[in-house]
């Protein structure tokens, strides 16, 4: 269906045409595809679970059968040794009869050294001998000698059938498969209902709202409840509708004024008025474009944290898994390439995290998560994390702190990130040199403080560079950025984190000799005042 609408503004007519023929089936197709993928994954997982349960069930049943057979022979050794020595047929026959209370036993025979006892079989096996059962996979045929005071007084032959085991196995398989089908059906129905409610219906409402706007209806409100992506799209559509309504209203007002001027002014005044109206329209368009760009930036930064970090973490994780696998299989030639993938992923993740952190800082949405933690394990974790960067430029890392350095109450994540920022900068700007991390506790001050000092023997900085070192997006110059990489945000973010925790960072540097950065933080950070 082609919808045509006209917005009449005084003597000015705006006409537009839109193809609004969005088929509802597309939404349901999306719902079906989502349900199909979900059911496929769940089905595979349930089938794997069912197969595992069946195998474990079979193994346990086989172990139980073997255990019962072992118990039978153990009981025979205890109960029959004296009876076999005395050749007490009544006791022997009673024992055999007792064995047949177990439905799995199909054959039992006791061979005496001086006499014999007639073998006992199930009726369906009346023509079988012990040797006939030996080697048959559906039976367990076992014999064992029985002794009386170290003298062999007889041999017990027992055959157990796996038939009952197989029957139980089939019953278990049927039960597991039935349960699997029920779960699959329940998940299928649930996924259909959920996708239709939370995806298809909201999209159909947005389609209807867009069709109304295309037909010139700028007054019908658009439902914008919720915090998901569809709700964000609805809010954007509502904002567009409001902006368009304001734009049309402005045009109508301007047109009315222009008509008055046309009645009272000469052609030149009318021409200048038209130029002024066009300028106003351009200014309004520029303002709307600026507002839309600012809104897009806010929406982008709000959504990109999950959208960017999740796939990058997956790439890094799979890279680590592949590295371990190729090392286990002996394909060491692939390890350097996989390590490059992981390094590039971590570098990109760091850049993205820095930009997003700075955005949160500028928006005032960074909060402290205070906790009490041991310093020594945290320092060791930082050292372990930074070691690959230390080795990359053939540097040496010297770490000094007291064994009883104690505990700290602060935001451990931000303390760790600040130390990693300083150490990574030291590693990046130092080659074949020494990097030193020293941690001290100052208990003499009025407020107990901790000092983290990072010193390197790298390229150093000039006085001008040192003055701007904590400014966002700042490095020495363009050549430094090209050679060493980085976003220039790490020190700015670290300084903000320290300020939030009641501390600060100082920097000293000499060009060509190296740099020293010192973090001073309270040992027990308190919640900032609102």
Q: What is the pLDDT of residue 15?
A: 44
Q: Which of 227, 241, 96, 235 is nearest to 157 (CA)?
A: 96
Q: What are the sequence ranges of the domains in the chain?
A: 367-522
> How many residues does the structure list for the chain?
530
C-alpha–C-alpha distance, residues 362 and 425, integer Å: 23
Q: What is the pLDDT of residue 67?
A: 81
Report residue 279 as tokens: 């300028």
* Strand order from edge to edge, sheet including 396-401: 396-401, 434-442, 449-456, 514-522, 504-510
Residue 335: enclosing H or E segment and its boundaries? helix 335-363
* Helix residue ranges, H only, 87-153: 89-99, 130-133
Q: Which residues, including other chains, have CB under 8 Å from residue 121's CB and lie 6 or more apart?
A: 106, 107, 128
DSSP structure string for 269-280: HHHHHHHHHHHH
C-alpha–C-alpha distance, residues 423 and 398, integer Å: 11
Give pTM, 2 decimals. Answer: 0.41
Packed helices 163-195 and 24-79: angle between N→C axes, nearest 10 degrees: 160
Q: Which residues, including other chains, have CB under 8 Å from residue 114's CB and lie 6 or more apart?
A: 87
User: What Å distances lie between residue 15 and 20, 66, 214, 285, 394, CA to CA?
Assistant: 16, 87, 10, 18, 69
Q: What is the pLDDT of residue 28?
A: 53
C-alpha–C-alpha distance, residues 121 and 130, integer Å: 10
Report residue 195 as tokens: 């996708």
- 530 residues of the chain, pLDDT tens digit each: 344 444 443 334 344 444 444 444 454 566 677 777 777 887 888 788 778 877 777 777 778 777 887 888 777 777 777 777 777 777 777 887 877 777 778 788 787 765 666 566 666 776 777 777 787 878 888 877 778 888 877 888 888 877 777 777 788 788 888 888 888 888 888 877 877 777 777 777 777 778 877 777 777 777 767 777 777 777 787 778 788 777 877 887 888 877 777 777 777 778 888 888 888 888 888 888 866 765 566 556 656 666 777 787 888 888 888 888 888 888 888 888 888 887 777 767 776 776 776 677 766 677 888 999 999 999 999 999 999 889 989 999 999 998 888 999 999 999 999 999 999 999 999 999 999 999 999 877 568 899 999 999 999 988 888 888 888 766 545 455 445 555 567 888 889 999 999 999 999 999 999 999 999 999 999 887 65
Q: Which of 315, 312, 301, 316 is nearest to 355 (CA)?
A: 301
Q: What is the pLDDT of residue 478?
A: 46
Report residue 171 as tokens: 């019953």
Report CA 294 to chain centroid distance, whole Å: 30
Domain 367-522 fold is: Heat Shock Protein 90 (3.30.565)
* Secondary structure (3-state) at 441: strand
Q: What is the pLDDT of residue 409?
A: 95
DSSP structure string for 359-402: HHHHHT------EEEEHHHHHHHHHHHHHHHHHHTT-EEEEEE-
Residue 5: enclosing H or E segment and its boundaries? strand 2-9
C-alpha–C-alpha distance, residues 333 and 479, integer Å: 34
Q: What is the pLDDT of residue 509?
A: 92
Tell me, letter by letter, the H, E, C secondary structure of 426-473. Answer: HHHCCCCCEEEEEEEEECCCCCCEEEEEEEECCCCCCHHHHHCCCCCC
Q: What is the pLDDT of residue 503?
A: 92
Report residue 455 as tokens: 């010193």
Residue 211: enclosing H or E segment and its boundaries? helix 201-214
Q: Is there a contact between 32 and 181 (Cβ–Cβ < 8 Å)? A: no
Q: What is the pLDDT of residue 299?
A: 57
């Amino acid at each position: 269906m082609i919808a045509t609408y006209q917005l009449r503004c005084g003597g000015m007519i705006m006409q537009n045409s839109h193809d609004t023929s969005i088929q509802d089936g597309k939404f349901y197709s999306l719902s079906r595809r989502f349900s199909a993928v979900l059911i496929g994954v769940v089905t595979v997982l349930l089938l794997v679970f069912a197969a595992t349960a069946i195998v474990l069930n079979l193994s346990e049943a086989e172990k139980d059968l073997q255990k019962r057979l072992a118990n039978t022979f153990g009981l025979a050794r205890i109960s029959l040794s004296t009876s076999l020595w005395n050749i007490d047929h009544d006791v022997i026959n009673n024992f055999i009869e007792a064995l047949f209370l177990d439905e799995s036993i199909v054959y039992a025979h006791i061979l005496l050294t001086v006499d014999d006892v007639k073998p006992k079989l199930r009726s369906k096996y009346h023509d079988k001998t012990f040797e006939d059962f030996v080697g048959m996979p559906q039976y367990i045929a076992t014999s064992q000698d029985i002794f009386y005071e170290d003298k062999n007084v007889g041999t017990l032959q027992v055959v157990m059938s796996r038939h009952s085991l197989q029957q139980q196995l089939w019953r278990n398989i049927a039960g597991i498969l039935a349960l699997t089908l029920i779960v699959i059906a329940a998940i299928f129905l649930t996924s259909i209902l959920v996708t239709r409610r939370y995806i298809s219906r909201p999209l159909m409402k947005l389609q209807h709202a867009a069709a109304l706007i295309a037909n010139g209806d700028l007054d019908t409100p658009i439902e914008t409840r919720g915090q998901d992506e569809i709700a964000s799209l609805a809010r954007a559509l509502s904002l567009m509708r409001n902006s368009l309504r304001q734009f049309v209203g402005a045009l109508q007002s301007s047109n009315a004024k222009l008509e008055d001027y046309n009645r009272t002014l000469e052609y030149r005044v009318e021409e200048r008025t038209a130029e002024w109206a066009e300028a106003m329209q351009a200014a309004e368009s520029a303002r709307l474009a600026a507002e839309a760009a600012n809104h897009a930036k806010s929406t982008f930064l709000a959504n990109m944290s999950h959208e960017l970090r999740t796939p990058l973490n997956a790439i890094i994780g799979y890279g680590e898994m592949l590295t371990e696998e190729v090392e286990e299989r002996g394909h060491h030639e692939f390890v350097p390439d996989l390590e490059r993938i992981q390094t590039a992923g971590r570098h990109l993740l760091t850049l993205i995290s820095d930009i997003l952190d700075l955005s949160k800082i500028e928006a005032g949405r960074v909060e402290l998560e205070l906790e009490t933690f041991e310093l020594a394990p945290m320092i060791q974790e930082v050292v372990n994390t930074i070691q690959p960067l230390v080795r990359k430029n053939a540097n040496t890392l010297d770490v000094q702190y007291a064994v009883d350095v104690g505990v700290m109450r602060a935001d451990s994540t931000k303390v760790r990130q600040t130390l990693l920022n300083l150490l990574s900068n030291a590693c990046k700007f130092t080659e074949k040199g020494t990097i030193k991390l020293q941690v001290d506790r100052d208990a003499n001050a009025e407020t107990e403080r901790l000092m983290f000092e990072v010193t390197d023997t790298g390229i150093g900085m000039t006085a001008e560079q040192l003055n701007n070192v904590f400014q966002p997006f700042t490095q020495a110059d363009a050549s430094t950025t090209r050679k060493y990489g980085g976003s220039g945000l790490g020190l700015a973010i670290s300084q903000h984190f320290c300020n939030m925790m009641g501390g600060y960072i100082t920097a000293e540097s000499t060009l060509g000799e190296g740099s020293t950065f010192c973090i001073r933080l309270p040992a027990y950070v308190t919640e900032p005042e609102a």
